[in-house]
Amino acid sequence: MARVIVAGGGMSGMSAAWHIRKQRPDYEVTVIEAARTAGGKACTHSEDGFLCEKGVNGVLDNKPSTLGLAAELGLSPLRSNDAARKRFIVRGKRLEPLPESPGGFLASHLLSLPGTLRVLWEAFVPEGDPDIDESLADFARRRLGDEAFRYLIDPMSSGIFAGDPEKLSLRSCFPRIYELEHTYKSLIRAMFRLKREAASKGKKGPAGAGPGGVLTSFRNGMSEMADTLAHALGDSLITGVRVTGAAKTPDGWEVSLDNGKTVRGSHLVLACPAHEAARIMQETAPEISRCASQIYYPPIAVVALGFRKKDIPGKLDGFGFLAPGCEKRKILGALWDSSVFENRAPEGYHLIRCLTGGARNAGLALLPDDRLVDTVLNECMQLMGIKKMPDFTRIFRWERAIPQYNVGYMRIMQDLDSQLARLPGLYIRCNWAGGVSLNDCIANSMKVAGEICGHGK
C-alpha cells in the first residue's frame, strides 16, 4: 500500500490529497500544514457583516478544475454580478472604463488616437523570435506600442501578479498570448480567426486574448471551499505542525517535523511555497533547493474598507480599478467587492479592498498600520471622491504573496524537472510551479494525483 505525504495544506496540497483518496481509497495520505488553519490564501475574514477575502477572491468558470472539485464537495458556486464585467483603469485622476469589445475599444478614451492606431497596426508587426524569453513589457511595446503597454498590459500584470512587467516573462505568465502570436502571427488576426472558427461551430468566440470566463466564488467566501475540503480530509490533515526536513530512504521518504516526530511514506508531494520547499530539501536535494530559492515573492497588503453607501459619490458599478505603474499611485488598485458578490457588506454599506505593495513598491505593504491606512484612504479620496472616513477597517498582510514568473523562470522549471526525475516518488505542486491561479493549482494537483495513482505520467 502506498503512503503519500503532502507537505503543505493550502488548496494545492489538500486537493492533491482529495484526488489521491478518491482514485485510490486504499492509499494512506497525510497532509501536514504549518499554519493552524488550512487553505493557504483561500481564506475569508467575517466581521460585523463584512466578508473580506484575505487573498484570492474567486475563480473563473472557464476551466473545470476548481468548480468541478467544488461540485464533488457538494458546494454551490456563487456567480459574480454583471457589474463584475466592468473594470476601470486609472488615467490621470480619472477612472476610465476598460473596453469590453472591439467597438468599445475604438470609442474609448483610455488611449489617445495615436495610441489606438498603433494598436491596430499590430496586425502588421512581424512575429517575434519564439526562442527568446521575452519580458511582458518588451512584448507589449513591440506588438502594441508604448501607450497600450502602459495602460492595458501593465495594469493587467499588476492585477494578476502584483509584478514588474519589465521582469515578468510573457511565455511563463501568459502562455496563451505567446501561443496566439506564434500560431497566427498577430493577436488581432488570432482574435478574428478564433471568432470565425467558433461561429462556424455555433459557439461564441473569444473577446480577445484574455482568459475570459465569469468570476465565481461561494456565499461564505473562498474559505467555504477550503474549510469543506479540510473537513472532508478529516484526520488525514494535520495542522500547526511544520515540516523541517526530508530524507530519501530505500523505500521512499522520511519527513521530519518540528514536534520531534517523523513520518515515513512512499511518495512525498511538496505543496508548499518555494522558500519552504528550498528549506526542506536543502540537505537532501541541494539542486532542487537552489531552483526553489530563485522564486521571488513580493509582499502585498490588503486593506479592507467599509463605507456607508451614502458617503460614496455615485455608484460603485463595476469590479474595481487598477493603477498603471506610470501613474505613480501608491495602490495597485481596488476591488469593489460588494458590487461583485452579494452579501459582502451589511445593508447600506460598500466593501472596498485596496491592494498595495507588490514587486515595484514592496515597502508600501510593510508600512505601519496607521500610515498604511492613511495612504490607502488618500488614494481612494483622490480617485473615487470619497470624503468620509470608513466605518470599518481591516488590514491583511502577506509578507510573501504571489510568486513571480520572471524572465528565466522557464529555465528554472526545466532544471527543477531534471532534478525531480532523479528522485522517484518526489513531486512539487504549488502556485510557484505551473500557474499561479487556483484553477491551475487544482488542475496540477489532479495531474500529480493521477501520476501517483498510476493513471498517467
pLDDT tens per residue, range 245-298: 999 999 999 999 999 999 999 999 999 999 999 999 999 999 999 999 999 999
- Within 8 A by CB and 6+ apart from 227, the residues are 39
* Residue 413 shares a structural domain with residue 291: yes
Strand pairing class (392-398; 349-357): unpaired
Domain harbouring 10, CATH code: 3.50.50.60
Rounded Cα distance between 80 and 44, Å, is 17
Residues 220-249: pLDDT tens digits?
A: 999 999 999 999 999 999 999 999 999 999
Expressed as residue numbers, the domain containing 347 is 47-52+61-83+297-398
Q: Is the pLDDT of residue 195 over 90?
A: no
Residues 262, 393 share a domain: no
Q: Positive or negative CA dihedral for 300, 301, 302, 308?
A: negative
For 402-438, the pLDDT digits (tens) are 999 999 999 999 999 999 999 999 999 999 999 999 9
Under the banding of pLDDT at 50, 70 and 90, the label for residue 54 is very high
119 with 185, same domain: the answer is yes
pLDDT of residue 204: 64
Residue 242 lies in a domain: yes
243 and 291 fall within a common domain:
yes
Q: Which three cell numbers stand for residue 89?
A: 483603469
pLDDT grade, residue 202 (50/70/90)?
Answer: confident
Strands 252-257 and 262-265: antiparallel
pTM of the full predicted structure? 0.94
Mean pLDDT taken over the chain: 94
Does 326 lie in the same domain as 360?
Answer: yes
Cα of 317 vs its chain's centroid, Å: 24
Question: Could you tell me if residue 93 is inside a domain?
Answer: no
Domain count of the fold of the chain: 3
Q: Based on the domain organization, do 291 and 303 belong to the same domain?
A: no
What lies within 8 Å, CB to CB, of 9 at 6+ separation is 31, 32, 33, 35, 38, 39, 40, 230, 237, 239, 271
Any long-range contacts for 346-349 (C-beta under 8 Å, 24+ apart)?
A: 346/48, 346/49, 346/50, 346/306, 348/308, 348/309, 348/310, 349/49, 349/50, 349/306, 349/307, 349/308, 349/309, 349/391, 349/392
Alpha carbon separation from 444 to 18, 22, 423, 427 (Å, rounded): 13, 16, 19, 11
Query: What is the Cβ-side half-sphere exposure of residue 116, based on CA atoms within 13 angstroms?
Result: 13
We report the CATH number of the domain holding residue 346 as 3.90.660.20
Average the pLDDT over each of 77-86, 165-174, 281-290 and give the range with the smallest value.
77-86
Q: What DSSP element (H or E) covers 53?
A: strand 50-53
Asked if the structure places residue 170 within a domain, the reply is yes
SS (H, E, C) 14-32: HHHHHHHHHHCCCCEEEEE
Report whether pLDDT(194) > 70.
Answer: yes
Residues 292 and 432 in one domain: yes
- pLDDT more than 90, % of the chain: 89
Res. 325: pLDDT tops 70: yes
Of 72, 75, 74, 76, residue with least CA distance to 22:
72
CA separation for the pair 447, 374 (Å, rounded): 45
Confidence band, pLDDT 50/70/90 cuts, at residue 1: confident
Last residue of a domain, one of 382, 398, 414: 398
Same domain, 355 and 365: yes
Instruction: Name the residue among 47, 80, 60, 58 with its Cα closest to residue 341.
Output: 80
CATH number at residue 165: 1.10.3110.10
Backbone angles phi, psi at 143, to 5 degrees: -90, -35
Are 329 and 379 in contact, with CB atoms under 8 Å apart?
yes
- The CA distances from residue 409 to 204, 348, 447, in Å, are 34, 46, 21
Angle between helical axes of 65-72 and 438-452 (0-180°, round to 10):
70
Look at residue 323 and tell me if it is in a domain: yes
Q: What residues contact 11, with CB distance under 8 A and at least 6 apart?
A: 39, 40, 42, 225, 226, 229, 438, 441, 442
Same domain for 186 and 240: no
209 compared with 334, residue with greater pLDDT: 334
The pLDDT value recorded for residue 211 is 55
Helices (H), 3-153: 11-23, 65-72, 102-107, 113-120, 136-144, 146-148
Is 73 among the domain residues? yes
Q: Is the pLDDT of residue 201 over 90?
A: no
Q: For residue range 368-387, list pLDDT tens digits in order.
A: 999 999 999 999 999 999 99
Based on the fold, state whether residues 236 and 285 are members of the same structural domain.
Answer: yes
**Is 358's pLDDT higher than 60?**
yes
- Let me know whether 262 and 319 are in one domain: no
Lowest mean pLDDT among 136-145, 186-195, 270-279, 284-293: 186-195
Mean pLDDT value of segment 86-107: 88
Pairing outcome for strands 392-398 and 300-308: antiparallel
Any domain includes 142: yes
H or E element that contains 288: helix 286-293
- From the list 56, 51, 88, the residue with the least C-alpha distance to 329 is 88
Q: Is 65 domain-assigned?
A: yes
**Position 100 in a domain:** no
Q: What is the DSSP letter of 209?
A: S
Q: Are residues 308 and 280 in the same domain?
A: no
207 has a pLDDT exceeding 70? no
pLDDT at 166 > cutoff 50: yes
Rounded to an integer, what distance in angstroms lies between the CA atom of residue 134 and that of residue 112?
26
The half-sphere exposure of 355 on its side-chain side, counting CA atoms within 13 A, is: 32
Distance between CA atoms of residues 231 and 49, nearest Å = 25
pLDDT value of position 455: 64
Instruction: State the DSSP string of 133-196.
Output: --BHHHHHHHHH-HHHIIIIIHHHHHHHH---TTTBBHHHH-HHHHHHHHHHSSHHHHHHHHHH
Instruction: Classify residue 199 by burial, with Cβ atoms within 10 Å: 0-12, 13-18, 19+.
Output: exposed
